[in-house]
Amino acid sequence: MGVPEAVTPSPEASGVGRAVLPTAVVHGLALIGLMVLLVVVVPRYEETYRNAPMCLPQLTVALINTSRFAMNYYFLLLPVVLAADVGVYALLRSCTSARILSTVWSVVVLLGVLLCAGLIILATQLPFAAMAEQVG
């Protein structure tokens, strides 16, 4: 039996890996920030809303339910979503004809995270606006 030769990755494969790592870190940090909003910030607002003598807007109720789901399954959600995101990015990045699509994917993911964060902020503030209307 002979000794097998060492397998070295092709230059194209190592280039894709180097390009994917910074994107994975940025997307991971963005998703962690979103999870912090859902798991830490929203429950604090939920405590405040419990004492409010009014019905909550549907967007706020949906946010609270999403927050409860995220609190129960954060340990699965974050790795699965990040792995799927990085997998799609790496696949698009590895196709030489679709490299622009990997950039578009990255921008869409980051804009989606920003949009979700904006919706979370809006949904947490809606009940206060409704209370102000009732008082005024």
pLDDT in tens, 39-59: 999 999 998 888 777 888 999
Q: Does residue 40 sit within a domain?
A: yes
Q: Is residue 79 part of a domain?
A: yes
Q: Which of 18-25's residues contact partners 24+ apart within 8 Å by CB, and which partners?
A: 19/93, 20/86, 20/89, 20/90, 20/93, 23/86, 23/89, 23/106, 24/82, 24/86, 24/89
N- to C-terminal Cα separation, the chain: 87
Q: How many domains does the chain have?
A: 1
Rounded mean pLDDT of the chain?
86
Asked if residue 80 belongs to a domain, the reply is yes
User: Which of 129 and 123 is assigned the larger pLDDT?
Assistant: 123
Q: Domain residues for 28?
A: 19-135
pLDDT band at 12 (very low <50, low <70, confident <90, very high): low
Does residue 2 sit within a domain? no
> Is 0.85 surpassed by the pTM of this model?
no
* 60 within some domain: yes
Question: Do the domain assignments include residue 120?
Answer: yes
How distant is the alpha carbon of residue 65 from its chain centre? Answer: 17
109 located within any domain:
yes
pLDDT at 87 over 70: yes
Mean pLDDT of 1-8: 56
> Residue 7 pLDDT > 50, yes or no?
no
